[in-house]
Chains A and B, each alone.
Chain A
Amino acid sequence: MDSVPDVVERISLKIEEKGVSVSREKVAGKLNLLISDFGIPLEEAERVVTNELIREYNLSPSSGGGGQVQQREIKEVQPGEWVTIEGKVVSVTEPPSPSIAQTGIIADSSGAIPFVIWAKANAPLLEERSWYRLEAAVVDEYRGVPNVKIHSGTTIVPLDDDRALFPSVVPISDLKPGVGSIRAKFIEEWEPRHERMRQTGILGDESGTIKFVLWNNGEREKLTLNSVYTIYYSSIEEFNGRLSLNLNTGMYIPEEGVDLEVARGTHEASGVIAHLGPGSGLIKRCPVESCNKALSRYNECPIHDIQKEFRWDLRITGVIDNGEEATNVLIQRDVAEALSKMTLEDAISVAENNPLGYDDVLDRMKHAVTGRYVQCRGNDMGGTILVRDCSRAAFDATRHTALLNRAAASPEGDRK
């Protein structure tokens, strides 16, 4: 957090840059009035005071006079700054709200940043693949991602030259919220959870994996499973601490006849199986090709209505708890069979020959699994670990000795 004196200094410098000297007391006076008498947040107060002084001294907020905002590299701009940048519009997207005229991504050789043109800015819309100079735009932050706001005071200068622009492709593990370019393989496709989603799944490279989403708006092609793509200028968003790549921005180019080694299965959950969800046990799956959704007890598929035929399956949707954190896990048939010591055939026979059917299978599974220490490994699919292998933990005598020593050592004594 900035302190009030920092802000006073920053406002004063900004005014002085424009060739007018201003007293620190005057700035501090205006600022304190807003903060203490009106309870306006410091950030907001800084903007108000700056604009007020600019008006008072008849200065131009943008490039006028001697106070031109210095041109910056996109990589370096920070939220809260007024900047002038030059870059190429690498993508434009439909604005999410009527108060926004256009959104997109602008890039220079140092990096890329989303831009937003407010409807009330009355600014011309930018054209994809063209170069522009944006003078006196404001860098803001939305959901942890910096973006450039084009407002009524921003000057947009189209540039004629088409300079070469090479996006820097980064390893997936280096991606941060914002805009990123990667080279990755489409390794896992998931059922879209929402009608507006066209495709979702996991992309991977040598460094790690990331979830991606392709939304239904726009005429974009779906990815082909197991193909390698170079993806330029996608927006990287963060939800619940997890990154997600939005394929509707930027562009992607498939590479023919190549493969990519993907680092996967790096996720581990160890602890106690603390809970088995209602989706655990014996389930029926939709037989329609490539559907495979779990059917309800009345054999309804959420997409394909009632199915007479179905495929049996056994799974665990549960929670592994290590005392600090509860992790959702989805355990597939072979691992679920081994953990619960019940085969799919056993489960089917219990369900068919027992008045309590499915509930009995689930009860037996809970009886065999809940409260046991396990170590599971698998892929992270947006907060749930899809478990590939799982083993029961064993008593570790070395750990026992180490803990005895740790308990015996008094920390007060160690410090002497």
Chain B
Amino acid sequence: MTETDRQARFRREPARRVFAAELRESRLQFKDGNDEKSPSFVLLPTGDRSNRIFLVGKMTQKDKKGDQNVFFTIRVEDTTGTFFVNAGSYQDEAMRQIRQIEPGGYVAVVGKPTVRTTPDGSVFVSVRAESVTPVDEETFRIWTLDTAEQTLGRLDRFGETEDSVKAREFYTTDTRKYRQIVYDALVRIQP
């Protein structure tokens, strides 16, 4: 019995699949544990916690911001809305990748969702990118199927899991609205 075997291995947080229309509605961010290094989660309105998300969409805008601390913001659109994705010096790999990609094509983004309250009091959800890579349209269509399936899965379990009970309390989620979002997303990728 070695020490390495005895230690619980680090478990990577999975990347949740979420449509832009749902992520936009996310407001509640919480930490699981009191440690400084405890993972932070955004509670999705359909009732699952997400520390990390995976999204695919068309990159419509790229902006370089900041003077001394340069960072990039990009907009990525799926069929339901816009994701706001950024990468700064702490995400140097994603930043390097973004530098090389011009808007207009599809990109796949792995990143961490964060909820911020702006000085004027409005709440804004963005994604801090870990990786941004150019992909083809087929990957976007597969992602839409994948995200539709996982969103429907969350809706089917809604009210039965601890996180979804919390989501119902916090967001008073209308599950029919999210079914409609899924349906519309699927219709828009019809060949």
Contact = CB atoms under 8 A, between A and B. Distances in A.
A274 B2 contact: no
Interface in A378-416: 383, 393-397, 399-400, 403-404, 406-408, 410-412
Interface stretch (A28-36, A70-78, A255-263, A364-372): A364-372
Interface string A320-342: 01111110000000000000000
A412 B174 CA distance: 12
A371 B141 contact: no
Contacts of A408: 183
Query: Which among A240, A319, A406 has the highest number of chain B CB atoms within 10 Å?
Result: A406
Contacts of B190: 400
B69 interface: no
A213 B76 CA distance: 49
Contacts of B186: 400, 403-404, 407
A193 interface: yes
Given A403-B148, A407-B186, A397 B139 contact: no
B177 to A, nearest CB: 12
Query: Which among B1, B130, B148, B149 has the highest number of chain A CB atoms within 10 Å?
Result: B1
B138 A395 contact: yes
Contacts of B93: 366
Nearest to B93: A366
Contacts of A363: 96
A288 interface: no
A393 B144 CA distance: 13
Interface in B1-48: 1-2, 4-6, 8-9, 11-17
A370 B16 contact: no
A371 B145 contact: no
B47 to A, nearest CB: 14
Given A274-B110, A400-B186, A407 B152 contact: yes
Nearest to A215: B1
Query: Which among A393, A400, A404, A407 has the highest number of chain B CB atoms within 10 Å?
Result: A407
Given A373-B142, A407-B152, A326 B13 contact: yes
Contacts of A323: 14-17, 54, 146, 150
Interface in B47-74: 52, 54, 56
Given A193-B4, A274-B54, A403 B133 contact: no
A370 B108 contact: yes
Interface residues of A, number: 42
B15 A321 contact: yes
Given A323-B14, A371-B110, A371-B135, A239 B5 contact: yes
Interface in A179-227: 193-194, 196-197
Query: Which among A244, A275, A370, A408 has the highest number of chain B CB atoms within 10 Å?
Result: A370
B179 interface: yes
Contacts of B1: 96, 237
Contacts of B16: 323
Contacts of A404: 183, 186-187
A90 to B, nearest CB: 20
Contacts, number: 114
B187 A371 contact: no
A394 B190 CA distance: 15
Contacts of B13: 326
B140 to A, nearest CB: 9
B2 A196 contact: yes
A407 B110 contact: no
B15 A193 contact: no
A83 interface: no
A23 B179 CA distance: 61
A326 B191 CA distance: 31
B189 A321 contact: no
Contacts of B131: 274-275, 366, 370-371
Contact of B138 (A272, A367, A394): A394
Contacts of B135: 371-372
A272 B11 CA distance: 17
Contacts of B12: 275, 319, 321, 326
B182 interface: yes
A403 B153 CA distance: 11
Nearest to B148: A403
Contacts of A407: 148, 152, 179, 182-183, 186
A363 B101 CA distance: 14
B97 interface: yes
Query: Which among B107, B138, B143 has the highest number of chain A CB atoms within 10 Å?
Result: B138
A371 B17 CA distance: 12
B108 A383 contact: no
Interface in A94-148: 96
Query: Which among B13, B109, B142 has the highest number of chain A CB atoms within 10 Å?
Result: B142
Query: Which among A323, A367, A404, A411 has the highest number of chain B CB atoms within 10 Å?
Result: A323
Contact of B14 (A196, A197, A325, A394): A325
Given A321-B12, A394-B138, A407-B183, 6 more contacts: A272-B54, A274-B15, A326-B12, A370-B133, A371-B107, A373-B143
Interface of A: 96, 193-194, 196-197, 237, 239-240, 244, 272, 274-275, 319, 321-326, 363, 366-367, 370-373, 383, 393-397, 399-400, 403-404, 406-408, 410-412
28 contacts: A194-B4, A196-B2, A197-B2, A237-B1, A272-B54, A274-B15, A274-B110, A319-B12, A321-B14, A323-B15, A323-B17, A323-B146, A366-B131, A367-B134, A370-B110, A370-B131, A395-B141, A395-B142, A397-B191, A400-B186, A400-B190, A403-B148, A403-B149, A403-B152, A403-B182, A404-B186, A406-B152, A411-B156
